[in-house]
Amino acid sequence: MKLLYFAWVRAKIGIGEETVSPPAEIRDVAGLIDWLKARGAGGADAFADLSLIKVAVNQDYVELDHPVAAGDEVAFFPPVTGG
């Protein structure tokens, strides 16, 4: 599974992307976030307030109950500020 981080989420995690193999019981975005928070490396800080986090799976916006699986591209980022 490929994880991508953007803007201040990237700054807090410390890297822009990584490839991970979460345990099989991680089945949705919320579970993945809990796993990343417990792992350390800035995860607890980056995901402290989930109201500030947007999630995309395979480049489409999703909610926290959206399933995730091996091979997915999952991105975490703040609300967008383009235009």
Contacts to other proteins by CB under 8 A:
4, 6-8, 56, 59-61, 75, 77-83
Min dist. Cβ of residue 26 to other proteins (A): 22
Min dist. Cβ of residue 30 to other proteins (A): 21
Min dist. Cβ of residue 54 to other proteins (A): 8
Full 3-state SS string of the chain: CEEEECHHHHHHHCCCEEECCCCCCCCEHHHHHHHHHHHCCCHHHHCCCHHHCEEEECCEEECCCCECCCCCEEEEECCCCCC
Task: Rank residues 33 and 75 by Cβ distance to other proteins and give the closer one.
Answer: 75
